[in-house]
Structure 1
């Protein structure tokens, strides 16, 4: 590692563990900065698992900065509304997203998560991605960091980023060491809270005569909540005559105790029983969940346990956590992936500002990253909890609250929630800034010391010199 002078970049090697949305976006940003990195992914192949993904004004400026917005628009639909139904297909109410573009400068977009993952992956040089690399151990010290992977090899770098999900191996290695040193907060030593068993997929090759909404050019977003069983299901229509679907079954306390020790990762296994349990449920756009499941390639149907936890420890020495590894949110408000991407943006900004590769400067960068991100991620974590209870809750009280909010709540309440969620629109400080087009202006961003120094140097060069 070398220190920099002036506007030169500190030369570091970054090890990114996890090739999910957050890890890939961080890698793309490091490419723009000029920082060396490698990505280590435990899976032996990149599989397009997952279902729907939706993002809005709070991350789309960065997608535009990277020149990827036009590509994203090719496989996404704007989402004008969310319609909620009871199990008998009676309509509960509607919430609108149509003001997003005016207020935040961008539409609220929906698309297939695998499509977006492929878009990000296409920006990564193939030699930078290493598959089948399950992390077994982590070492770090004054001179660098090292991971050991399941193939018996070791990999060295200056910084390790744990972007490897809710059951992060990097977090576990880090926390084990901190626990041995009595430095781990008690709250970080407890398991994640289990909420739902969830099954997802993307139905393909659908007939637009059977599902005429596919012709409309926007994403029909529908959520249905069952009466007597703790089931809820969601659908989005996306380009290409496809419907992204997900179905959730709430976990009881006893089931939670049984599953607490299981490592719940995305995967196509253990779905047959769940299919039998939910296939008969009707879908607002016609037919049943079973019809959509039948139209989904079997190897691309995946099941996951949805969990949540806000961790307190995000970094130590040369290791830092990102996304689900440090704040696992329920997908109720659709902010999990978005917050992982915001983490990537702020972490990249902090690495861009590094003064040297010393452990002191790296720790200071990580501290700045957490200070900028923790309040925002914590707020979104709480919103996800609230939205889950309001929109997907099964109790009589939750049903009444849901109906009241969707039908009687004043528009000013919706506007206030929008400002809280979408005024936070960080951008990469080292790329040309995208114009703030929203009616509600973006919150001020943390100032980059390096960019400020460059601007001051450029300004002094433009000033006329005395004769």
Structure 2
């Protein structure tokens, strides 16, 4: 077992791409298999903060991220008539990093440009998977199949890798009951990003910072989100709470909603936004092909790995976007998986790989489960329209002490895993950081290098200059 493990990553989403970049730095062989023939720039605004940015510094792409993003210090909340309700502090005051907002397609493109194009294979819809003591295999709809030592399912909420793995485990009587139950689907979301806007008509784009605002309907079952991002653009979204009947229909569908984009947006087009325009104005400035309509599911799966196979991101912990932690947690998964693969060294044995992937789950499970719960609570606060949620919302947003806002942000920012096979970035900010499991292999390699540097050159005096 002298060769390094070969890794197959299914899904060219943010978590899968970042894992590929980490393996590239580690000089481990990998390939990424994406089901679609090309990646369209779907998605709206998102953000990254202190709980992942140190790792971007490690990879040397932090400055690149700053070029496509704008800092944001607060979240603005409004009633339907544009009456301000509250401002939630999301600044990097004591955490060391500003929260950076950008359009999701921009960071996708950033990561794609950092990876060798030959490592990403498009049009590879996975139909089945398998594994043995000697390796893992995927079989695709185009008749091709691929083998490797490790298989990572980074292919989203309806992961083909997860479905294939769970089917086998259920047949063998090894799948927990909860993992076979459907995800909870409480909301649907329409999102898009405009083309560059004229500053005269849309003054919000003149700012050198990002404005992030949520408009919560007074009576309807929806909320409107608007975010200004670089390039004189605005990301927008409509989050709609589903009725029980609509939730039943959602469970019978896949990721994308059945109704057309036009029909979905029409009821909300006339609504005002804090940016001095209506939602319809922003929709009209957005290419129709770049608007997506997706259900918002949530669930923490118990089974993350088995043998040579592991799941990453939405495939094992699907969370609502309300706390802005879904993509970040997928990236944190990628960091820890990469660390565990690094510890394998040259071993490709079934026993060592299984132990490494189990270590990944043990390091990540509790934190990810907590973030699913926090995202659910944030969803109730900002998106839910039940009478109880409305009561909790206004009590919390109007009377909640500002110290509570700060405590919630700093708790999330305290967990910031880094790649243990790269020099760690020094702590920024004044807050305490959650300790990270160190790399025994890296420490040993550093000790060996130091010993070699301290050893005298053969045939010379140890005191020779």
User: Residues 68-217 of structure 1 correspond to what in structure 2 (within 5 A)?
Assistant: 68-98=61-91, 100=92, 102-217=93-208
Could you list the runs of 5+ residues in structure 2 that have no partner in the other structure? none
Deviation at 1:459, TM superposition (A): 4.4
Q: Deviations over 1:90-139 (max 9, x none)?
A: 111110122x1x32211001000000000000011111111110000101
Change (3 A) 1:416 1:278: same
Tell me the equivalent position of 2:375: 384
Deviation at 1:451, TM superposition (A): 1.1
Tell me the equivalent position of 1:314: 304
From 392, 398, 401, the counterpart of 2:389? 398
Secondary structure in structure 2 of the residue aligned to 1:283 = coil
**Deviating more after overlay: 360-369 vs 208-217:** 208-217
Tell me the equivalent position of 2:327: 337
Tell me the equivalent position of 1:370: 361
Tell me the equivalent position of 1:455: 446
**Deviating more after overlay: 328-337 vs 278-287:** 278-287
For the 8 Å contact 2:179–2:301, the answer to whether it is kept is: yes
**Deviating more after overlay: 292-301 vs 270-279:** 270-279
For the 8 Å contact 2:199–2:205, the answer to whether it is kept is: yes
Q: Deviations over 1:309-336 (max 9, x none)?
A: 1000001111100000000000010000
From 283, 294, 304, the counterpart of 2:294? 304
Tell me the equivalent position of 1:62: 55
TM-score normalised by structure 1 residue count: 0.95
Q: Deviations over 1:221-250 (max 9, x none)?
A: 100111221011101001111000011111
From 410, 432, 435, the counterpart of 2:426? 435
Cα distance in 2 for partners of 1:34, 1:389 equals: 44
**Deviating more after overlay: 34-43 vs 211-220:** 211-220
Q: Deviations over 1:25-56 (max 9, x none)?
A: 00000000011011100011121111111110
Cα distance in 2 for partners of 1:453, 1:464 equals: 16
Deviation at 1:276, TM superposition (A): 1.4
Q: Deviations over 1:151-186 (max 9, x none)?
A: 011111111100000000000000000000000000
Secondary structure in structure 2 of the residue aligned to 1:83 = strand
Cα distance in 2 for partners of 1:280, 1:191 equals: 35
From 250, 262, 269, the counterpart of 1:279? 269
Secondary structure in structure 1 of the residue aligned to 2:344 = coil
For the 8 Å contact 1:79–1:219, the answer to whether it is kept is: yes
**Deviating more after overlay: 219-228 vs 18-27:** 219-228
Cα distance in 2 for partners of 1:122, 1:138 equals: 29
For the 8 Å contact 2:261–2:292, the answer to whether it is kept is: yes
Cα distance in 1 for partners of 2:440, 2:148 equals: 25
Deviation at 1:462, TM superposition (A): 5.6
TM-score normalised by structure 2 residue count: 0.95
Tell me the equivalent position of 1:294: 284
Cα distance in 2 for partners of 1:215, 1:284 equals: 15
Deviation at 1:412, TM superposition (A): 2.6
**Deviating more after overlay: 206-215 vs 74-83:** 206-215
From 2, 7, 27, the counterpart of 1:14? 7
Tell me the equivalent position of 2:41: 48
Deviation at 1:140, TM superposition (A): 0.4
Cα distance in 2 for partners of 1:218, 1:416 equals: 23
Instruction: Flag as ranges the 4+ runs of structure 1 deviating above 2 A.
Output: 267-270, 395-408, 455-467
Cα distance in 1 for partners of 2:125, 2:36 equals: 8
Secondary structure in structure 1 of the residue aligned to 2:274 = coil
Could you list the runs of 5+ residues in structure 1 that have no partner in the other structure? 4-9
Corresponding residue pairs, total:
457
From 263, 270, 276, the counterpart of 2:254? 263
Tell me the equivalent position of 2:225: 234
Secondary structure in structure 2 of the residue aligned to 1:280 = coil
- The Cα RMSD (Å) is 1.7
Cα distance in 2 for partners of 1:297, 1:23 equals: 27
